[in-house]
Chains A and B, each alone.
Chain A
Amino acid sequence: MCVATPMRLVEVRGHEGTAELDGVRLAVRLDLVAAEAGDWLLVHAGYAIQVLDEAAAAETLALLREVDASREST
């Protein structure tokens, strides 16, 4: 039920927008986020519930690679 899908916001029309993932387009409500075209959204039940923080995502993955590298070098 709490499945939420990351989708790219491609168009904004007030509280409504169009989001896209792998060529599939979906109308999404934007009542619960401050988002602009180009943002990655988490979409649940037809509503965007968050704008994904791409920097935070990159940081998590970078940290992981660092630990991985340090393990291999010891």
Chain B
Amino acid sequence: VSAPARGFRDPGAVEALRGRLAALPHPGRTLTFLHVCGTHEQALARWGLRRLLPGWIRLVAGPGCPVCVCPPVEIAAASRLSLRGKVLLATFGDMLRVPAGGTLEQARAAGGLVEVVLGPAEAVALARHNPRQEVVFFAVGFETTACTTAAALLDDPPPNFSVLSVHRLIAPALEALLALPDLAVDGFLLPGHAATVTGPRTYTLLPGRTPAAIAGFEPVDVLLGVLSLASQALGGVPAVDNQYPRAVRPEGNPLALRALEQALRPVDAAWRGLGVLPRSGLEPRPEFAAWDARSKFRDVLKDVSAGLDGDPPGCRCAEVMTGRLEPEACPLFGSACTPEAPVGACMVGSEGTCRTRWIWREA
């Protein structure tokens, strides 16, 4: 039995889709489609998919890297917990080098306890194995990841475990992007794995009847999504078209949605590049206050600030993250700012748009 992904990398299928895109009538102007998923950017760059699209389709990257959209003050809070709070901070490897005044990597060098984990279950295991050590899971990610944090909270975690949540929701960011005066979006390529959890319904209220298509991450998946967006934009009926049915069901993943609802609640939250968006973040519900690092370590976290509000001088991550600037157009890209010596968050996160473009750049 072949892996389910295999057929979706088939060169013949890719060529057929390229042909179908090429056969579409030219709309007389460039159409801009925006994706909001670092994994989509990786697929586009890795497989060279942009080159297969007709010249009138521009596919740009939005705020799809959860590490990148995490505001500096949250990283400062995590650093302070590891340094002053004497807690063991467990988080995804991507978080360690995100600039925020200081990075978590620097906090670790200064004696802070910072451990990289695969996910919340591993953080819980750390807490169980070290019962006298407070373990805080610095929880970053969209719905895809938030449901795993919820599952950990619901699975009777030990008292020395807690969560510092910077989880974010995708749909509020899409609405904020549509409201930006200097960004014209003709369609959204929606993230297949966030939609696996939520189902398509979360996206039905997109203003302006903006075309939207949920897509997976293999070459055929991405091209099917773009073809759907182009067809909708060229006079089809705008919809939330599901082009990833092997993972995305109409109802999403009911068990994951129930876990999210039972353990976490939406709150207003800040995004790097977009500011505070209403009900765009998730935090533990009041019943889980004992496992909420913000209430558990209220005194340690009082008056925390990053000493840095936006991006470092010269850094244009905020524009890159909102689809208003191609990474290659940033003067720092590849010269002052590289994965080895990153200036901005987009060059740090493994799904950051700048990092992906730099790593997969054309020779």
Measured CB to CB, the residues of A under 8 A from B are 1-4, 6, 15, 21, 29, 31-34, 40, 42, 44-47, 49-50, 52-54, 56-57, 59-61, 64-65, 67-68, 71
Contacts and interface: CB of A to CB of B under 8 A. Distances in A.
A45 B139 CA distance: 11
Interface in B210-262: 220, 224, 243, 245-247, 249, 253, 255-256, 259
A4 B121 contact: no
A4 B144 contact: yes
A33 B122 CA distance: 19
B236 to A, nearest CB: 16
Given A45-B148, A49-B147, A52-B4, A2 B141 contact: yes
Contacts of B119: 44-47
Contacts of B351: 1-3
B345 to A, nearest CB: 13
Contact of B145 (A1, A52, A67): A1
B355 to A, nearest CB: 13
Given A4-B193, A44-B193, A54 B256 contact: no
Interface stretch (B13-21, B264-272, B290-298): B13-21
Contacts of B224: 60, 64
B151 A29 contact: yes
A6 B1 CA distance: 13
Nearest to B191: A2
Nearest to A4: B193
B196 A61 contact: no
A32 to B, nearest CB: 5
Contacts of A47: 119-121, 147-148, 151
A35 to B, nearest CB: 10
Given A29-B151, A49-B148, A59 B245 contact: yes
B138 interface: no
Interface string B116-149: 0011111000000000000000001110110110
Contact of B141 (A1, A33, A54, A61): A1
A17 to B, nearest CB: 12
Contacts of B118: 45-46
B27 interface: no
Contacts of A15: 155
Contacts of A2: 37-39, 66, 141-142, 144-145, 191, 193-194, 351
Contact of A44 (B7, B94, B148, B154): B148
29 contacts: A1-B94, A1-B140, A2-B141, A2-B142, A3-B39, A3-B193, A31-B154, A32-B148, A32-B255, A40-B3, A42-B247, A44-B119, A44-B148, A44-B193, A45-B120, A45-B144, A46-B118, A49-B193, A49-B196, A49-B253, A56-B245, A60-B224, A60-B245, A61-B220, A64-B13, A64-B16, A64-B220, A65-B13, A68-B12
A46 to B, nearest CB: 4
A47 B142 CA distance: 14
B151 A6 contact: no
B144 A49 contact: yes
B253 A1 contact: no
Contact of A32 (B65, B66, B259): B259
Contacts of A61: 7-8, 10, 13, 220
A32 B147 contact: yes
Given A1-B142, A1-B145, A6-B4, A46 B245 contact: no
A45 B197 CA distance: 14
A57 B92 contact: no
Given A1-B142, A3-B39, A50-B196, A32 B20 contact: no
A33 B246 CA distance: 15
